[in-house]
Every structure is written in structure tokens, then in C-alpha cells.
Structure 1
Amino acid sequence: MFNQYKGLRREMYVLFFGRIVTNMGALIWPMLTLILRNKLGLSASDVATVMLVMTAVQIPITLLGGKLADRFNKRNIIIFCDLVTVVCYLICGFIEVSFMFVILFFIAGLFASIEWPCYDALVADLSSSSDREKAYSLNYLGANIGLVLAPTIGGFLFENYLNLAFIFNAISTLSSTILIFLLIKDISKTKDDIVTSSYEEDASSKSVFHILKERKTMLLYLLYVAVSGLVYSQFNFLLPLNMEQLYGAKGAIYFGLITSVNAVVVIVGTPLLTSLFPKIRDVSKIIIGEILIVTGLAMYIFIQGLIPFYFVSIIIFTLGEIASTLGKQPYMTRRIPSSHRGRIGSISYIGASLFQAIMQKGVGFLADHYTMQIVWTIISFMGLICIGVAICLKLVDKKAYPLFYQEEK
């Protein structure tokens, strides 16, 4: 299974190891909801409000990140943003948990928002269209190898040693930054000679809005990303609230274990699914992934308090996450000019984040006033809508991008 990753550019393997090292210290991001709820005593609705405000501030920052990614050296932007996050995490490691603590945490998140479009665009730049699934698969695999133990350790540190988790995160992020600084020198775009690469030809003279007007199918894709982002985000929003409601502070331990199982399944399942389904179109992977994600989350309508079934649910959910990930980024980057990857990637992220934050306020309200079974039922209905949008995307894709289908004949 791992032989399939041979032949990629050296820089892809550096990014792979960088992801591993960074996420080894990612002890606290999955715990944000629990920090606001358990440490600061906010209601579920107030937690959603805080996240909405954070998202509103992130919108111009993420747009800036996309613009910078398309115009400047992506490697240098990543290094600078990493250094800022390291400083914020270190300060958090030595102060009391308070709203100032959350503000510093948020500042680190803002610079991560600038970095994300650069990272995703860099992966696309360093891979050819035919290797795109493998490149994103390897990047995703590295992120989750680092996450295997981090959430579980974070869960155990959460109650009494939360500051120590921030110090670990700072050290791991700094290690990754040093790795990228020393080993990534060449970030020139990979040349591609296959027919479908014409969709990725440079269009620097055109605005991002002109590109979206030309390729209206991408608007449907952006709608899908927004709805799917809301459904997927319940893993880090509604699920920890559910665990906290059932088990109090110990819910952090159960949520950490569930998150670690998620990472283990990704490590085993990503290379497996990448090798088993190389000829399945990216848009079909998206549909398969959403069906599995919705199925995994819908199980919480029936399994409240049944701990073994939490792990069955997360396995199904994670297989869907893998399939969806292997479909989404390759789908988008193959259908837009290489000159616009950063900006359209940031628009995709902003649309999803804004929709998620606004709707999350409603989810938080429901969690405060209704049973978890009712809330999970509503989320499952949203998931069905998402699956419907993905199916519509598949139906219009063949007409919009015929070269992909001619190549497969």
C-alpha cells in the first residue's frame, strides 16, 4: 500500500514529516469546545456565539492568506505564520485559563488561517494532476499519524494540566517549522503534460470572480463544501458537548479516545482506500464519503450511553472522512487555474466556516433546549441535503469538464 507514494517530489515527503511533527503536539484544538464549556462555564449557545465571532474575524484574514498564497513564496508564509503561533502557544502555557488565554489561542488560529491556503496550494503545486490524489493522501496521512496519541494525551491533561498541552503544541510546531526551513528549497510548480491539465493553465490576468463565472460548477461545489463542513464540524462541536453532558469533565477523556481512534483508522484506511479506488472519480469519492459520514453521526440518535458503539460510529465516520478528503481537494484543484488555487481555496474555506458558524449557533441553541437525540436527527437531515448536493454536482460535472471523462474511455 505504501509503495504507491513513491515517485513524488522530495518536498512532498518533507511536508509529510512536517505534518506528523506538527500534529504530534495538537493536543488542544480538538478541546476548544470543552475549554469554553467546562473551563469558562459557557452554555452551548454561548460557545457557538464565540465561534461565530471568531469566524467573522477569520474571513478577511483567510482571504488575505489566499491572496498571499497566489502572489508570494508559500514556504516563507508558512514559516512566518508558524513562528507566530509558537509564541502564542508558549504564552498560553504559562498563564491561567481565562478569556485572554482564549484570545491568544485565537490569534494563533488566525495565523493558521493564513497558512492553510498556502499549504493546500503548495501541495497542488508540487504534484501533477495524475498524482494529485496520492499527494493529498500522503499529506492527510501525515496529519493523522501525528494525531494518533495527541487527543488522548490532551484528554488526560485537560482537567489539571491544560497549560502543559500548549507547551507541547508550541514545541512540535517549532520542530516542523525548522524542518520546512531547512529542507524545502524548490517550490516551483510541477509541469503536467496530460490533456486535462488545460483546466489548470495559468490565468493570472483574470479575477477570481471571472473564473467562478466561467466555471459555474464550482459554485455548486462551494455550496457542497459549506453544507458538508457544517455536518462534519459536529465531530468537534456537538460530539464533545454530548460527551460533556453524559460524563462531565471525564467526557474529555472519552472524546480524546474517540479522536485517537479516528486518527488510527485514517492511518490504516488512507493508503488502503487510495490503492483500492484509484479509478473512481473524485466526485464519486465525495458522494461515498458523505454517505458514510452521515451514517456515522446519525448513529448517535440511538447509541447515547452505549460506549462501545461510539467506536463503531467513529470507524464508519472516519472511512467517510477519508473518501471525502481524497475527493474534495483533487476535485477543486484539477478544475481551476493554478494561479487561483490560494484564493479559491480561501473562498471555499470562508464560505464553509461562515455557514458553519451561523448554523452552529442554531445547533448550540438546540443542544441547550432539546435532547441530544433530537439534535442529532436534525444534523442527519442536513447530511441528507449534503448528499443530494453532491449527487447534483456529479450530474453536472460531466458536461462542465468533459476532458476528464474522455480520458477515462
Structure 2
Amino acid sequence: MQLINQFRSIPRPALIFGFANFVIAAGAFVFPFMALMLSQKLGFSATHTGLIIYGVFAAHFPAQILGGWLTDRFDPKPIYVTAIALEVIITICAGFFAETILLIGFLFLINFANGIMIPAMQAWQANFSTAKNRKIVYSVSYYGFNIGYAVGPAIGGLLFADYFRFMFWGDAATTILALIVVILFLPGKFDHGEQEEVEKERPVEGSVWRFLVTRPDLLFFAALMLGINIVYGQLTVALPLQMEETFGADGAKFYGWLLMVTAITVLVATPIIARVTNLNRTLSNLMMAGLFYAIGFGFLGVANHYLLLIMCAIVFTVGEVLSVTNTNTHIANESPRNMRGRLSGSIGLTIGFGFGAAPALSGWFIDQFGLAVLWPSVAALALICVSGLGILRRTQKN
């Protein structure tokens, strides 16, 4: 009954956002397979694959700063719609050059457009929500994405070998459908009525950088979550390479199925996690996320059977659910209303640097020391970050 009441408290725009994310993720055929595109289709080594993926994800850095500034200046909806439309156009074009070196440039541009969209989406969701229902709102959006992700990578794995170009065109087609839903049904503004505004969300004067200087706790939080995201970033390069090492030519297929398992885990676990942890402090939930990452990723090196890999994937996916929903919630709760776009962009940029740097770092590390050494190393990093979050938690009020 309490779960039903929580569902009823979710703003309608958040449900629409969840559906749009579902449609986009159901066609997520490109980025989950980027490492295999570069290694198998274009013939790059692990080090070069990691460096290229790092360069592609580096597009997020200027894009999120730009997207945050545009969001605070023009409101989230027009920025979100424009960025998604650009991403669609570039993805369609990329399909015509999918097996040439030009693919790298198109992947960079796709990620740039996606980076502009992210702070707009997060600020938009923060505007729809209140401090009381914000975790649930972000969980719904994340839940919708992962329902689609339970299907998208599995289809992408089947297309990879013989219908490579259609991965791009199919991805673009589903994104167009989601864009139509957003344009037609999502309002640009949301009225909370007479609810009292939380002190930390009240508008403040000055620049974002001056504000961050007065909030060292946010900077420390960003640094710790950067480390957590380096661990999570192993999903993009180290995990598919582990699958390739374990299963050979069938690695892409099994990697796609493993991603489907993680998505199904999200479908089952997200409502339960949202209910059980909703009253916890966001930092407490993020500490648990780091522990699940340490266990799930740490044991991948000794998981020599597909069932063991599935167990590891389930564990680190629980950590992913806790990390994604509580990171965005923590940033929104600590952000003045007139700086949501820029803070989401700048702090998200810092945190995202961990995910973006992971391919290059892990690619170099694998070439130097091997996959077997990588997994316990990232587990240790996760535990260090958990300790830091514990220190930060003790310094903050409830």
C-alpha cells in the first residue's frame, strides 16, 4: 500500500519522462558496443580503444558546461529538445560511415549533443519534483531507461555482426519517437502550488564558481563520486574485453545478454530499493552503492563461468541503482533553483570525468598488468571512496 501511495505522489511529467527514457533505451544499439566497434570492426588495440573512448566521452566536458548554462538561461525543455534532435541527425549520418575511421568523429559529436541534454534533463526533473519525492522521481526516470535497456543491447548484439549500419539507424528511429512524446506531452514548467521552498533550493546571487567555493562539501562529494564512477566505467571497456577473453568470438553476444541481465535486475530491484532506502540520507545510500561496486566488480576476475558473471553483474547493478538515483537527488537537493542547470553540468562533469577516464585508464592498466589485476584494484578504489563518503556524512546535518 505504501508503494502504491508513493507511485500516486509521482508528478505526471516524471512518468512521461520515464516512458521517453524507455523508448530511447529500447533503441540503445550504439554506445553499449563502442569498445567492440573499435576493437573488432576498426581493429584497435585495448590501449587505443580505451584512449579513443576516453576522447569520445571527453565531449561531455564542454557539452555539459554549455548545456547547464543554456538551461539556466532558456529553461530546460527547449535545450533538451534541441540537443536530442541534433543527436538523432548525427546518429543517422554515422550509419553511412559506420565501418570507416570517420565513425570516431561521429561518436564524438553524438556524445557532445548528449552532454548538452543531460543538465537540461536533470534540471527539468528537479523542477518537477520536491525534496520529499525527488528520489522517487529520479528512480522512475531511471527505471524507464532500464526497462528499455533490457531489450536494446540484446538486439544490438544480434545486429552487430551482420547488420552493423542498422544499429545506428534503429537507434535514431527510437529516439525520434521519444522526442515526439516529450514535445507533445511534457510541459516546460511545473507548478508546485503553495509548498514552502527548501532553504538550500532558494535562488542565490553570484556565479556558480563563487557558490562552489563556499560549499567545499560539494567539491569533496564530486571528487569521491568521480572515483566511484571510475569503478562503474569498467562496464564500457574492461567488462566487454573480459567477455571477449572468456568467450572468444561469442564475447559480443554474451556481453549483450549480460547487459540485458543487468537491466532486468534494475527492473526487479529499483522499486524495492526505492521503497527500502527512500528515508535514508543520500550519502548513506551512496556508501552502500560503493560497497556493492567493490563486491560486484572486484570478483569479476575470478568469475570464470557465465553464471558467476551474472551474479557479479546483479551485485554491481544494485550499486548502480543506488548510485544513479541518489547522486542526482543529492545534487538537486543541494542546488539553488536558479543554478540547477549549471551545477548539474559542472558537478556532473566532474563526476562524469571518472566514467569518461575509465576507458583510457583501464585500457592502459590492462595492457600493463592484465585483466586479473584490474578487478581487485577497482574494488580497492571503491572502498576508499566509501570511506570518504562516510567522513562527509558525519559532517552534514540530517
TM over 0.5: yes
* Residue number in structure 2 paired with 1:364: 363
The offset of 1:189, in angstroms, is 5.9
C-alpha contact 1:129 1:192 (8 A) present in aligned 2: no
Which of these residues, 132, 135, 138, is aligned with residue 136 of structure 1?
138
Give the ranges of 4+ consecutive aligned residues of structure 1 lying more than 6 Å apart after TM superposition.
none
Change (3 A) 1:8 1:96: closer
- Please say which of residues 18-27 and 274-283 is displaced more in the overlay: 274-283
C-alpha contact 1:229 1:356 (8 A) present in aligned 2: yes
Identity %: 25
Q: What is the aligned length?
A: 396
C-alpha contact 1:243 1:255 (8 A) present in aligned 2: yes
The offset of 1:316, in angstroms, is 0.8
Change (3 A) 1:356 1:165: closer
Alpha-carbon separation, structure 2, partners of 1:337 and 1:229: 25
Deviations 1:244-264 (A, max 9, x none): 222233211111111111111
Alpha-carbon separation, structure 2, partners of 1:9 and 1:140: 15
Instruction: Map residues 4-83 of structure 1 onto 2, 5 A cutoff.
Output: 4-83=6-85
Uncovered stretches (5+) of structure 2, i.e. residues with no partner: none
Instruction: Map residues 219-368 of structure 1 onto 2, 5 A cutoff.
Output: 219-303=219-303, 305-358=304-357, 360-368=359-367
- Please say which of residues 52-61 and 36-45 is displaced more in the overlay: 52-61
Change (3 A) 1:52 1:210: same
Alpha-carbon separation, structure 2, partners of 1:92 and 1:78: 21
C-alpha contact 2:57 2:108 (8 A) present in aligned 1: no
Change (3 A) 1:76 1:217: same
C-alpha contact 1:11 1:186 (8 A) present in aligned 2: no
Deviations 1:380-405 (A, max 9, x none): 1211212122112212222xxxxxx3
Change (3 A) 1:362 1:233: closer
Alpha-carbon separation, structure 2, partners of 1:368 and 1:381: 20
The offset of 1:82, in angstroms, is 1.3
- Give the partner amino acid of 1:280: N
C-alpha contact 1:90 1:166 (8 A) present in aligned 2: yes
- Give the partner amino acid of 2:202: E
* Residue number in structure 1 paired with 2:180: 178
Instruction: Map residues 68-147 of structure 1 onto 2, 5 A cutoff.
Output: 68-147=70-149
C-alpha contact 1:128 1:192 (8 A) present in aligned 2: no
* Residue number in structure 2 paired with 1:218: 218
- Give the partner amino acid of 1:87: I
C-alpha contact 1:27 1:150 (8 A) present in aligned 2: yes
Provide TM-score, normalisation by structure 1: 0.92
Instruction: Kindly indicate whether residue 214 of structure 2 is the aligned counterpart of residue 206 of structure 1.
Output: no
Alpha-carbon separation, structure 2, partners of 1:53 and 1:372: 22
C-alpha contact 1:2 1:271 (8 A) present in aligned 2: no
Alpha-carbon separation, structure 1, partners of 2:142 and 2:256: 19
The offset of 1:40, in angstroms, is 0.9
SS of 2:132 mapped into structure 1 = helix
Deviations 1:65-119 (A, max 9, x none): 1111111131111111111111122223334411212322221111010000100
Alpha-carbon separation, structure 2, partners of 1:279 and 1:117: 26
- Please say which of residues 179-188 and 132-141 is displaced more in the overlay: 179-188
- Give the partner amino acid of 2:146: N
The offset of 1:161, in angstroms, is 1.2
The offset of 1:266, in angstroms, is 0.7
- Give the partner amino acid of 1:183: F
C-alpha contact 1:159 1:249 (8 A) present in aligned 2: no
Change (3 A) 1:139 1:96: closer
The offset of 1:192, in angstroms, is 7.1
Uncovered stretches (5+) of structure 1, i.e. residues with no partner: 399-404
